[in-house]
Chains A and B, each alone.
Chain A
Amino acid sequence: MSTNLKWPLGAENPPESSGESEAELRLADIPLRQVVELVRIDLPSDQLEPLLERGVLPGCRLCPVRRSPSGDPIVDVDGSVLALRREMAGCLCVRLSEALED
């Protein structure tokens, strides 16, 4: 498991001087078939559970597989296929994974 994980504590943001040099990537920005790793979920804690229960956890591998007819992403999460609203995909902070596409 990778080590550099941040806690999704809702409105709290990591301090500016955390030293992270990568730009903030959101799942909504990721092109299809690109594998990424979940870094953080920017949602209030009472909205986290539907995601957590289905395996969307910091450290999991995400890969957008297609878009629904209305443009919302369909994502492969460690083998499960989940449909998310694009607003929610905008709350998922990710980083490019070294792993190759499935």
Chain B
Amino acid sequence: MVPANDCHTLETPSQAPSATASPVPLVALVGPPNSGKSTLFNQLTGLRQKVANYPGVTVEKHMGRVRLSDGAELDLVDLPGVNGFSARTLDERVTRDVLEGRAPGLRSPDAVILIADVTRFEQQLMLCEPILELGIPTLLVLNMADELERRGGDIDETVLADELGVDVVRAAVRSGRGVEQVYDFLTEVQRRGPLPEHSCPAVSNVPKGVVLPTVDVFRRRREQVHAIGLKAGFVPAGPSGFSDRLDSILLHRVWGPLVFLGVVVLVFQAIFTWATPLMDGVQAVISMTGTWIGSFLPQSWFRSLLIDGVFSGVGSVVVFLPQILILFLFLGILEDSGYMARAAVIADRMMYRVGLQGRAFLPLLSGYACAVPAILSARTVEDERDRLATIFVTPFMTCSARLPVYALLIAAFIPDRPLLGPIVGLRSATLMGLYALGTAAAIVTAFLLKRTLLRGEPSAFVMELPPYRIPSPRSLALRLYDRSKVFLRRAGRVIFAVTVLLWVLTQVPRQDGHAPPIENSVLGEAGHLIEPVIRPVGFNWKVGIGLISSLAAREVIVGTLGTIHGVQDAGQGSLQLQQALKKDLDVGGAVALLIFFVFALQCTSTLAVMRRETASWRWPALQFTYMLVLAYAGAFLANWLI
């Protein structure tokens, strides 16, 4: 291990702070998963966080601004939770790039904070050696010290600081303990100013110039950490009785799957029972506001642009927020409490059989809200092939955007009859069937993928089960804020842009200075153009127009169909629209349209995110084509049979 080195501590700065106006210093926050890293990041940055995009790289950096007591500021980058620095996983590669100063758009870090769960000291401190080789000021945060003490463990952090040659802080970040010392460290970093551009040594699992079998390296590091721990008087914590007892239920042969099922059902209840009325409410407010604003303006293209274009565009994004928020709140609670790891273990065997793995469970479940954040969170799947398979099938998960379309068509064409007594009606059975169909398509596709394009050795699955913890409301709230921002930035911008663009296409070519009737507009012409192709599936040119518009964003079809039929305030609940649709489609065609929406990839945001995550257009193109073919075939079959 690197001996005590002045460069790591801040007692004797080796260079004078820059005199000229210097860029804001950058500090990197590194640590294993479940070490409380995100909690610390949130404590330090609060709402002053942003998610930055870097062109050409499939990476998002979590950046935040830390405001220090003297008013000065510095940047903090929250790196993904990693267990090591191999090139094996995307998260580890990203972390290395940032630490080595090779991430585009980010300067080399001027300091690094390494946070570890001290109750798993020997294992988590394995990251220390590669970090120390960076040769920049380092702070080691021994988090969860309260838990260590409660379970009868101990450590002498001053001896540890001497042994490692870095500043060490004992902390319990959730309750704020130790955070002040972190601020002190950051203040010193800020005072020293940014380091001059330096080439950072490579960070890796293998030290420079050494070529050894990896096990040897790990063993050596572990022995060193163990020796250091002994010198620092490390007393391991006793077993966590509470987590153990809870696991005996939650991982029980019978109770485990039952609770798991209950949790999944709860999550879906959240979509149907709670989110849908909220969505309807938001939709109503938006329409009313739109009408109210419109009453002030004279009839003109500007009014049309404002109301039917911009306002409608914003509205079609905002209407999803209730569902996104509720779902991500649930998932956040499950994750932070530690239950999600257990759910991944329970789901793993089933998912393994179809070519996925337990870690894909959370991303896929998130896909029921929106595929965009779901695909991004697939980064936790370490095996590259498993990750690709997960990303590829995520769009089959019935996302929020499909719901308005389903609701409209079911209300218009499926009679409100009971199916299984008073409990299950024909309409809800249809809805559940559509959800099931999407899920089935995902399973089959994953299976096929793993047999063909992504064939290979089964992946290693090692899942850490962290101790159960009560989620902190502040962390939850900040994560919710963060995920909604991802949705709004990525999906929201695209949906908005598409809505406005489609509005434009309905406004040209002009007839006598007015907008043409929709069938003569550019969009209308396109609808006529594809009619021969979609006739066999039961669709006419009007539905064709809707289909074209929905290829960019699914729910747009509702508004488009409304415009075509001259229906004011066209929403999924609009009776007028439902009546109008019955003239365009018969039941067979309606079911065909539903099936089409189950399978087709109609989301530019998803394509964009897929491209970023797979670093090429090959996979999104393949996915789009595959899903389109499946959608057409399914719709054809449905129309033919009904």
Residues of A near any B CB (own CB < 8 A): 1, 7-9, 41, 43-60, 65-72, 74, 76-85, 87-88, 102
Contacts and interface: CB of A to CB of B under 8 A. Distances in A.
B111 interface: no
A66 to B, nearest CB: 6
A66 B88 CA distance: 30
B70 interface: no
Contacts of B463: 82-84
Contacts of A41: 215
Interface string B585-596: 000000000000
A50 B462 contact: yes
A74 B346 CA distance: 11
B210 to A, nearest CB: 16
Nearest to B252: A69
B345 A48 contact: no
Contacts of A102: 239
Interface string B85-127: 0101000000000000000000000000000000110110010
B522 interface: no
Given A49-B84, A53-B83, A53-B84, A88 B215 contact: no
Nearest to B85: A53
Nearest to B257: A69
Given A70-B346, A72-B349, A74-B345, A51 B462 contact: yes
A7 B465 contact: no
26 contacts: A1-B223, A7-B215, A8-B215, A48-B215, A49-B88, A49-B205, A50-B83, A51-B460, A57-B222, A58-B215, A65-B244, A66-B247, A68-B251, A68-B256, A68-B349, A69-B346, A70-B348, A71-B349, A74-B465, A78-B122, A83-B345, A83-B461, A83-B462, A85-B349, A88-B462, A102-B239
Given A50-B382, A74-B465, A78-B122, A68 B345 contact: yes
B464 A52 contact: no
A57 B218 contact: yes
Interface residues of B, number: 47
B251 A66 contact: yes
A82 B465 contact: yes
Interface string B235-246: 011010001100
B251 A80 contact: no
Contacts of B618: none
A80 B120 contact: yes
B253 A52 contact: no
Given A9-B213, A83-B461, 17 more contacts: A41-B215, A50-B83, A51-B460, A53-B126, A60-B222, A68-B345, A68-B348, A69-B253, A76-B239, A79-B119, A79-B123, A83-B341, A83-B462, A83-B463, A83-B464, A84-B463, A102-B239
A54 B83 contact: yes
Nearest to B86: A49
B30 to A, nearest CB: 14
Max chain A C-beta neighbours (<10 A), residue from B215, B239, B352: B215
Contacts of A55: 122-123, 126, 222
A32 to B, nearest CB: 11
Nearest to A60: B222
A51 B216 CA distance: 13
A69 B84 contact: no
Contacts of B213: 7, 9, 45
Contacts of B341: 83
B387 to A, nearest CB: 14
Nearest to A88: B460
Contacts of A83: 341, 345, 348, 461-465
A74 B214 contact: no
B248 A66 contact: yes
A82 B251 CA distance: 13
A52 B214 contact: yes
A56 B251 CA distance: 22
A52 B256 contact: no
Contacts of B205: 49, 53
A82 B460 contact: no
B458 interface: yes
Contact of B247 (A45, A57, A74): A74
B11 interface: no
B83 A57 contact: no
Nearest to B349: A70
Interface string B341-371: 1000110111010000000000000000000
Contacts of A50: 83, 382, 460-462
A84 B460 CA distance: 9
B457 interface: yes
Contacts of A54: 83, 123, 462, 464
B188 to A, nearest CB: 31
Interface in B210-235: 213-216, 218-219, 222-223
B352 A52 contact: no
Interface in B313-329: none
A52 B236 contact: no
Top 8 nearest A-B pairs by Cβ distance?
Answer: A70-B349, A53-B83, A55-B123, A53-B84, A83-B463, A81-B465, A83-B345, A52-B218
